Amino acid sequence: MPIRIPVVALVGRPNVGKSTLFNRLAGERLAVVDDIPGTTRDRLHFRTEWSGVEFIVVDTGGIDPTGVKVGEGREPLSIGSRDFIAEIRAQAEVAIRDADVVLFLVDVESGITPADEEVSQILRRNQKVRDGELFPPVLLVVNKCDNKARRDDALEFYAMGLGEIYPVSAQHGQGTGDLLDAIVAALDISPEDQQEEEEDVSVKIAIVGKPNAGKSSLLNKLIGQERAIVSPIAGTTRDAVDEYMEFDGIPITLIDTAGIRRRGKVEPGVEKYSVLRAMRSIERADVALLVVDAISGITNQDAHIAGFILEAWKSVVVVVNKWDALEKDTHTMHEYTEHVRAALNFLDYVPILFISALTGKRVDQVLPTALQVQEERLARLTTAEINRVLQHAMDNHPPPSKAGRQLKIFYGTQVRSDPPTFLIFVNDHELVHFTYKRYLENRFRMAYGFLGTPIRLVYKSRKKAILEPR
């Protein structure tokens, strides 16, 4: 078994460039970066390698000084996240406790500030003595050192008493190679210590939906801890957050995402990046949990998100949250199911769950249902089974003709799963009318289900092949 991959946590006060350094180390724009202090809220992480050693880098929200209260004449440093200062601090402290190495980021332009001193005190409180050394080790990283004068100014940070300093420019990449060397040295792990890890075979489940539908609450209930910040204010989660777990021995990656607003309602800047990130999270998922607010019902935005999931060829479970908040009788669930089916008529094959992330009611059905849908996504039919379905379909409803030409279906075969894709050979694919395409898809679903999973039907003739958008 491979050893646990070590964790490197990025901490500091707001607006010192943690997310910029995070993106620089990742080599791509993973964290939302904005000039407004306090942009990053939840912990965000990526896995990387340097000098043959693998480790995980975790970004955190900026730690505001204590004693600053909104509306009392002193504004917090995290202007963009003033309502979440306590939660951000708690998340950062969790990241510090989980870390094997801490990168304490400061800003050479500002010099040593009282907020920096307070962060250093937090770090010292969370360090323990292990084998005669303080753990986790702290690397003091001085950012914005993009010229010699600023690198000279960085020397004042030795006064913080944290040992060696590492001047970098996160924006331009200067000094990051030396920093990565220092990280590997502090981890004190050789490549030989890390066995080659098996390919990630976890089931990727993205939790998506419009803002304030209860996505983060559902994530926390599923994993049994306060992993994501939960707030009644719409739009709290901005970054996609991965959580790894096992359920009945099956590895799962849960992906919490920012709420997706209608395109016309997306504010420029931070929220725009958050929506794009949520879209990318859907792209890398196997199954999407579409979380719907039971109080507001299926809205046009819910249908828009569902359409995006379908366009990405992802499997889906509709999760109606806040079910406890509705007044119900014996017919409510049936009537609500009909409402969902009518509003999402292009997803008539998906399962619908009625839950309360707040109370935990029926949350225990979510992962089993998602895993069942994933099994359907990976299903494979034999050529004999496929052609039996096609033959029965043609016996019950012969292929139509078009402009005096009769459609002929020769045979079909499955060319891939994830999602199930069937290649059907015909005399001329242009003769396959839309209604007959839907008819054949329904016949496949009647025979083999494919619960919650889109299926592709590709019709190939001597001229060319086309791919059906369902």
Within the chain, how many helices (H) and strands (E) appear?
Answer: 12, 20
Q: Is residue 1 part of a domain?
A: no
Residue pLDDT, tens place only, 124-149: 888 888 888 888 999 999 999 999 99
Going by their DSSP bridges, the two strands 241-247 and 203-208 should be labelled as: unpaired
Number of domains into which the chain is organized: 3
Residue 330: pLDDT over 60:
yes
| Distance from C-alpha of 342 to C-alpha of 336, rounded to nearest angstrom | 10
For residue 315, is it within any domain? yes
Instruction: Name the most confidently modeled range: 119-133, 145-159, 234-248.
Output: 145-159
Average pLDDT for 180-189 = 93
Which has the closest alpha carbon to 165: 131, 132, 120? 120
Asked if pLDDT for residue 184 goes beyond 80, the answer is yes
pLDDT band, residue 231 (cuts 50/70/90): low
Domain boundary (377, 393, 428) is at 377
Q: Compute the average pLDDT of residues 157-179.
A: 94
Answer yes or no: do 107 and 215 share one domain: no
User: Are 263 and 125 part of one and the same domain?
Assistant: no
In terms of domains, do 73 and 212 share one? no
Convert the pLDDT of each residue in 68-110 to its tens digit.
Answer: 444 444 444 444 445 545 655 665 676 677 789 999 999 999 9
Distance set, CA 87 to CA 34, 38, 181, 208, 216 (Å): 20, 12, 32, 22, 14
Give tens-digit pLDDT for 191-200.
Answer: 877 765 456 7
The total of other beta-carbon atoms located within 10 Å of residue 22's CB is 25
Tell me whether residue 113 is in a domain.
yes
CB 170 within 8 A of CB 176: yes
Give alpha helix (H) positions in 299-346. 300-311, 332-343
- Top-ranked range on mean pLDDT: pick from 13-17, 32-36, 140-144, 423-427: 140-144
Q: For residue 296, count other CB atoms closer than 10 A to its CB.
A: 13
Among 361, 377, 393, which residue terminates a domain?
377
pLDDT for res 257:
77
187, 253: one domain? no
Domain boundary among 353, 377, 401: 377
Please, are residues 120 and 104 in contact by the beta-carbon 8 Å criterion? Answer: yes
Residues 228 and 290 both lie in one domain: yes
Instruction: Please tell me the number of Cα atoms within 13 Å of 139 on its side-chain side.
Output: 24
Q: 15 falls in which pLDDT band (50, 70, 90)?
A: confident
Domain extent at residue 414: 383-467
pLDDT over 60 (residue 237): no
CATH number of the CATH domain containing 15: 3.40.50.300
Model pTM greater than 0.95? no
Phi-psi bin for 30: left (phi > 0), alpha (psi -120 to 50), beta?
Answer: alpha
Q: What value does the mean pLDDT take over residues 259-273?
A: 51
pLDDT, residue 280, reads 67
